[in-house]
Structure 1
Amino acid sequence: MLKGSAWMTIGSILSRILGALYIIPWRLIFGAALFPIANSLYTQGYNIYSFVLIVAIAGIPSAIAKQVAHYNALNEYGVGVELYKKGVILSILMGVISALILWFAAPFLTNGDPNVIPVIHSLSWAVLIIPTMSLTRGYFQGYGDMAPSAISQFIEQLARVIYMLVSAFIILRVLHGNWVTAVSQSTFAAFIGAIFGFLILGWYYWRGRDYYRSLVANSNHQLRVPTNQLYREIISQAVPFVILGAGVTIFSLIDQFTFFDIMRLATNFSERALQVDYAVFAGNANKLTMIVISLASSLAITVVPLLSTAFTKRNMQMMRDQLSNTMILFEFVMLPASLGMAAVAGPLNRTFYGTANMDFGSNVLTFAAIAAIPIGLFVVTSAVMQGVSQNRRAVKYFVIGTIAKVLTQFPLVYWFGAFGTLMSTVVGFTVANGLIIYSLNHDFGFEVKKMLNDSVRLLAYSLIMYFITLITVYVLNFLFGLVANPFSSLMSLVVTALAAMIGASVYLYCTLKSRIADEVLGTRVARLRTILHIS
């Protein structure tokens, strides 16, 4: 699990970092006047695209990963190959249908802003090919091979970022064109990135084709699964993945289609001010917190085939160990990452988004970083439920959480504005998480005593790290303020980097000194303790 998580974490984190770093040159290309509304337009288009893409993908990659792992555990590799071939047909069909729907439905999804239409049109091209690319990633994951997915994910993001920056620069700075056209090309970059990501996957398969063929040749060849049954298996497994995989996006869409109307009732803000507020929490903060949440996603992708294998073999002790280890590994990574981002929220926000609305933006990012913990936990727990074939129950709990989000949305947004959207999101995911964890513990059991002990220690070390990092930020701001503007993007970057390194060192020391790192990551960590001279 650690090896798979490492690959997925590296690929996912690097992709998310690229997906956040591009905002700095992109902001400079658009300029201070256009950036807020361009960012809001980009975010609105991408939220709709993300939801449609999840439906287009239909949960098939994760379903394929789970079912391929299931048949591989039975030494029926040939069935897994047939499953993949049938999945390709489904993914192509879903891609074409979803792209057409997205294209023709664009005028009805504008939320009152006609500029959203060309952005949605540009994104429909990516929907054509990403489902099949994602399916292929799921096939590799079913073999426990996470490297192809991770590397293709990174290359996809790299190509996307390069295209969007070059196209925006040419349109705005060279041709002095329309800013909406520049945003549309920035979103069309998703299609360009997908092409490169797919090429990397094709290269990996071509390189390892002899290995995969040998596995099929040496299978038991005793299991014959009819075509109709294969399709039924894919679809029955995929539907819950659609709903649960779209969980975060569904909450974002609830915000997108309710925030403006509620705020118009609660305030007399101008439309531009509302666009800026929306961009701050749905675009700016979300881009950064998704880096943290991607840590949870990496764990989730890794754990599904592992749990499916244990479930297939009816190995209850292995399942109990995997469940407990997954939760502790999540806390080991997610708690310090979220609290660390909250501690450096001020300089981090200024690094990416400048000094416009810096106090508001920093406060929103602080709250969003904490809110990332229940969001990330849901990503993991819902994946765990699917790994142990509790799909229907997981969907039921998510629906209950969504109802909690909807019921609290109006009063919280009315009273607290942008912060209210984050509060209702925390309420919704906390309800869903509580129900899922209770169900898992009831059916399979956790190593409760050990988990509680480890959780308390990890929370304590994370809080120590948080306060030391926060103090470091204040001290560095004061010192740099004596010789320069501490709130410039460059100085903020330096403060963020130094404070993050100090905070990470504190957390690393605490976990190594207490030996909890050994329990979570394995005995090889002892070598790191020796290198750092920690007794």
Structure 2
Amino acid sequence: MDSRNQPGASSASLDDSRRKMISGSAWMTAGSILSRILGAIYIIPWVTWMGAYSNQANALFAKGYNIYSLFLMVATAGIPSAISKMVAHYNGINQYGVSRRLYHSGMYVSVAMGLVCSILMFFGASLLDGGDPDVIPVIQSLAWAVLVIPGMSITRGFLQGYNWMAPSAMSQFVEQLLRVIYMLLATFVIMEMGSGNWVKAVTQSTFAAFIGALGSIVLLAYSFLRRKREMDALVSQGEVATGVSTRRLIGEIIYQSIPFIVIESGITLFQLIDQYTFFDIMKWFGNYSAYQLNTVYALFSFNANKLYMIIISLASAMAATAIPLLAEARAKNDIQDMRRQIENALLLFYFIMVPAALGLAAVAQQIYTVFYRYDAAGITVLQFAAFMSIPYGMYTVGAAMMQGISENKKMMRFLFVGIIIKFIVQVPAIWLFKGLGPLLATAVAMLFINYCILHSFNREFTLHFNEMAQPTNQILAFSLIMFAVVKVVMLLLGLVVSPYGRFTAFFTLVIGVVIGGGVFAYLALKYRLVDTLLGDRFAGLRTRFHIK
């Protein structure tokens, strides 16, 4: 019997859960995408001012940020995501007072962790440099951001637990905007007006993370105070849970957050494996200079990473939305709602990620030239990375959903085996494919993890794969058609205008994006794909554009 026909699974609840998912995803996607775009656009002037040192600077930036990302995961201790999940849980059972105490308790823990991790980064930088002394000042500059970001992140997680995604989205944008403004000003002053010391320019560029965090904190504080009266009313009207002590809440936060540290740092762990193994493995199979290795490392760890992470940020935005919604359904033990949330998230992921990844691959030459100048090797890496971003993004969404239904231990086992696979595949992949090897090894590991996640979901909830097959196949078919059309257009334009200049590349890139987006949108509207995934709100577009 189809569980969707049972009384508990009304069309109203389906529409409500889908509405929450779409609304939350829209806010988080907008904030994440705008932040990622800002975080990519700055590269154009930044690389120009770095001049001949650009790839070396990119490699140094990537090394410092990989270490920073890991410490930041530990400093926040997975608490923002854990808080988001737990707040949604207690709100779902009408215990808003417990949610408030959770926030206060989590703040104590995260501030203490931020202080400890910041001190370790600052004074232990020489132990983490991997043999490159230029990394030391970069790590130390990032220690300031680790000091303040945990408190900022805990507030984001608390507001997300109420399904208020707008403050998080806006704070992400403000954080990135201030960061980019500071790093560009500092880099211009050092490289164009000052000493021209590229290591100092990179150090100031990474210190900009601290400046951006301060701006985000101000906006989140304003958002919190603006909603405080509404939250106070919910607390006063909710149930009083006298049996939940502060000590128990802190213990629950730590217990819940430990898996989040490991799981959410999955991609960072894979990047750190690359950082500390790539150089040595390459030396086993050839006589390469430090300059050559840093250049190749920059191509996949920074240059391509900056661009494909824009579309992975789409998956991250959806992941942030999925956790509290699933946690709320889990708190109510609503199996049907959990199934719907998982199916909605998977279909929305496919709808966004697959065409975005194939679109990036189709315009890889143009977008790489705009951001970094024409480089055949860099373009090849980006094309390959665009396809690899699909399993990367799937990991982000899948891991978040596993956490949302409290399958943390199982997810940690999947990740542990995935890391082992990464180590096994890393050496032969680098031997055979050089700079593409680390990307391939990570993708193989991610594919295994993703299979385990989907298999686990299906065993527990019996997903309706038959019903999901048609929209999934449509997404793939429309994306492939879009890819083929854009690729042909780019090849034809390449015969008319030079593919080597930034301005001509930008001109063709705009044409490619407009055509690709238009083709996919037309097919999705004509064959009612958007209706299946997003409801009938887009029916008016068919009439406006005379699509039958």
TM range (shorter): over 0.9
Cα offset, 1:220, TM superposition? 1.6
Match of 1:128 among 144, 147, 171: 147
Q: Is the 8 A contact 2:32 2:317 kept in 1?
A: yes
- How far apart in 2 are the matches of 1:240 and 1:51? 14
Shift of 1:223: 4.8
Long gaps (5+) in structure 1: none
Once the 2 structures are TM-superposed, how far is the Cα of residue 153 of structure 1 from its aligned partner? 0.3
Inter-partner Cα distance in structure 2 for 1:267 and 1:95: 41
Contact 1:76 1:223 in 2 (8 A): no
1:18 partnered with 2:38: yes
Q: 1:430 aligns with which of 447, 459, 475?
A: 447
Query: What is the rounded CA distance, in whole Å, between the counterparts of 1:477 and 1:198 in structure 2?
Result: 46
Choose the corresponding residue for 2:491, options 457, 471, 474.
474
Structure 1, residues 8-41: CA drift from partner, whole Å, max 9, x if none? Answer: 000000000000110001011111x111111111
1:176 Cα offset (Å):
2.3
Is the partner of 2:458 in helix, strand or coil?
helix
- Could you tell me which amino acid in structure 2 is paired with residue 298 of structure 1? A
Matches within 5 A, 1:32-431: 33-355=52-374, 358-431=375-448
Counterpart residue number, 1:8: 28
Matching of residue 29 in structure 1 with residue 46 in structure 2: no
1:342–1:367 CA contact under 8 A, matched in 2 = yes
Matched, 1:497 2:510: yes
Question: What is the CA distance between 1:463 and its match in structure 2?
Answer: 0.4
Aligned to 2:501: 488
In 2, the alpha carbon distance for the partners of 1:506 and 1:309 equals: 38
Amino acid at match of 1:65: S
| C-alpha distance in 2 between matches for 1:267 and 1:251 | 23
- Secondary structure of 1:336's match? helix
> 1:256 is matched by which residue type in structure 2?
Q
SS of 1:145's partner is coil
Range with bigger deviation, 296-305 or 448-457: 448-457
CA-to-aligned-CA distance 1:154-205 (integer Å, 9 cap, x gap): 0000000000000111112112242211110000000000000110001111
Residue 78 of structure 2 contacts residue 257 of structure 2 at CA under 8 Å; is this kept in 1? yes
Q: Is the 8 A contact 1:79 1:224 kept in 2?
A: no
CA displacement at 1:266 relative to structure 2: 1.1
Report the 3-state secondary structure (helix = DSSP H, G, I; strand = E; otherwise coil) of the residue aligned with 1:220. coil
- Kindly indicate whether the alpha-carbon contact (under 8 Å) linking 2:98 and 2:241 is maintained by their aligned counterparts in 1: no
- In structure 2, how many angstroms separate the alpha carbons of the residues matched to 1:184 and 1:344? 32
Q: Residue 462 of structure 1 aligns with which residue?
A: 479
**Structure 1 residue 212 displacement after superposition:** 1.3
Q: Return the alpha-carbon distance in structure 2 between the equivalents of residues 117 and 469 of structure 1.
A: 44
Counterparts of 1:525 and 1:374, CA distance in 2: 29
- Other structure's SS at 2:124 match: helix
Question: CA offsets per residue over residues 241-262 of structure 1, 9 Å max, x none?
Answer: 1111101100000011111001
Q: Which residue of 444, 449, 452 maps to 2:461?
A: 444
The aligned amino acid for 2:174 is I
Compute the TM-score of the two structures, normalised by the length of structure 2: 0.95
Contact kept? 1:144, 1:305, Cα under 8 Å: yes
**CA apart distance, 1:222:** 4.0
Letter in 1 for 2:471: D
Any conservation in 2 of the 1:339–1:466 contact (CA below 8 Å)? yes
Q: How many aligned residue pairs are there?
A: 528
2:44 aligned partner, one-letter code? I
Match of 1:510 in 2: 523
**Cα displacement string for residues 483-523 of structure 1 (whole angstroms, at most 9, x for unaligned residues):** xx332011111111110110111000111111011111111
Amino acid at match of 2:274: D
- Structure 2 residue identity aligned to 1:421: P
Identity fraction in percent: 47
C-alpha contact 1:59 1:240 (8 A) present in aligned 2: yes
Give the distance between the partners of 2:174 and 2:224, measured in 1 at CA: 16
Q: What RMSD, in angstroms, separates the aligned Cα atoms of the two structures?
A: 0.9
Distance in 2 between residues matched to 1:353 and 1:71, nearest whole Å = 48
Q: Is the 8 A contact 2:362 2:483 kept in 1?
A: yes
Structure 2: runs of 5 or more not aligned: 1-20
Report the AA paired with residue 5 of structure 1: S
1:529 match: 542
Contact 2:471-2:532 within 8 A present in 1 as well: no
